[in-house]
Amino acid sequence: MRAVDIIMKKRSGQELTRDEIEFLIGGYVAGTIPDYQVSAWAMAVFFQGMTPAETGVLTEVMLKSGKVIDLSGIPGPFVDKHSTGGVGDKTSLILAPLVASLGIRDPMMSGRALGHTGGTLDKLESIPGYRTNLSVEEFRSIINKDGFAMTGQTKEIVPADRLLYALRDVTATVESIPLITASILSKKVAEGAEGLVFDVKFGSGAFMKDPAEGEKLARSLVSTGAAMGKKIIALLTDMNEPLGNMMGNFLEVEESLDCLEGKGPADLMEVTLELAARMVVLGGKAKTAAEGRKRCEEALASGKPRELFLDNVRSQGGNPKQLLELRGKYRSEYVMQITAPDSGYIHHIDAFQIGLAGVHLGVGRNRTEDTVSPTAGIQFHKRYGDYVKAGEPVMTVWGKSAQSLEDAKPLILGALHIQQNQPAPRTLILKEIASS
């Protein structure tokens, strides 16, 4: 068997066999098949796609390329959530302790910011002392104690995905539905989750700009995950606007605490509660999403999720007391105000442009080796549908340097669209897609 023959077969749109996929991915991980041949195969997949059977095989092969976390001996159920990436999306920080308070264990393996999208690990690591490089033993222990744990992908967990993702990132093959499906599911199955809720985002701030493409990805995740024996629900959610009032690493930790105290912004709370409600259903703690949401609302009112969040901060190396003392104070010294150029209603704050501005500010990164700033970010004083007067503050912006503010300012101003008529209310959740 030769890699070049597999590339040619996929280039012509033919379906690959399990043996061919195993040969190609196994050879890449072992170092016997070079980057340039796998790059050519990934581009062929980008243009020709893969059948559901191929996607399922690719996911399984990637999963088996490394270790799978064994959670046996810890009482379940184990349910996790995954977002396809957005701007201001801190739902993971809120819903993990929320569902844990209802007896559902969340083994969460998260990623870092790349490009215009934020990363859960960067947000958590903005808490002084917080560790996300957990060993498998630590991961198990913290899940057993707190009900959830937050860790990053190690070299031993799905090494095929770690290699392939880095290659896709530099060969313009990221936005391939089969490759995204295999990447996400291989990691999520490896972490030990029995049920998965996917937040598949569409719009300017998402990888999938068009709702139809987002739905294709959602259906691919649901069908492939179900074929692997997992209970899956996907929600198609709007990412045309930043989610919540804060965008930035420590800023989003603060807003997560606000939500856990029942003071979160309406859009963020709506998406978080709907995702959490589905996790409660998959965990067998509610029969319907409506019942699950009600249980989540009652849990938030009790204060238990907030206490679990602070317990987890302590378990993963942080100091809860220090975190609470830094609240509202931990900011970069480099700051500027963005004011409304005209009076009118805010029709759009473009999430993509805001995300790109965040990279300049130090919130995100262009390359995986770039560092991020814990204290940079944007606070939105006015949002979609709000009326503003000319000269009124719309955003406060913090950057890693004075130059970063200058670099980000044109993008931020370009993201803000004000018109005279009041816009229609947004629909945050477009559709639910579930495995039977």
Is 187 a catalytic site residue? yes
Closest residue by Cα to residue 363 from 404, 424, 335, 412: 404
Alpha helices in 261-393 (DSSP H): 266-282, 289-302, 304-315, 320-326, 351-361
d(CA 327, CA 322): 9
In angstroms, what CA-CA distances link 297 with 8, 22, 252, 259, 268? Answer: 54, 46, 21, 11, 14
Which three-class secondary structure state does DSSP give residue 306? helix
For residue 32, what are its two tokens? 């016997």
Q: Identify the active-site residue in 10, 81, 90, 168.
A: 168
| H/E segment holding residue 233 | strand 231-238
b/e per residue, 42-74, with b = 16+ CB within 10 A?
bbbbbebebeeebbbbbbbbbbbbbebbebeee
Residues whose CB is less than 8 angstroms from the CB of residue 31 and which lie 6 or more positions away in sequence, other chains included: none
348 counts as catalytic: no
Question: Which two structure tokens, joined as six digits, stand for 175?
Answer: 């936005």
Residue in 83, 183, 373, 435 annotated catalytic: 183
Q: Is 183 a catalytic residue?
A: yes
Residue tagged active-site, from 162, 187, 306, 360: 187
Those residues whose C-beta lies under 8 Å from the C-beta of residue 362, and which sit 6 or more positions away, are 332, 372, 373, 376, 399, 400, 401, 404
State yes or no: is 256 an active-site residue: no
Instruction: Tell me which of 10, 81, 82, 201 is the catalytic residue.
Output: 82
d(CA 90, CA 67): 28
140 is catalytic: no
Among the listed residues 161, 199, 267, 350, the single catalytic one is 161
425 secondary structure, DSSP code? P
Is the CB of residue 158 less than 8 Å from the CB of residue 190? yes
- The per-residue DSSP string of 94-122 comes to HHHHHHHTTT-BEEEEE---BTTB--HHH
**Residues recognised as catalytic:** 82, 161, 168, 183, 187
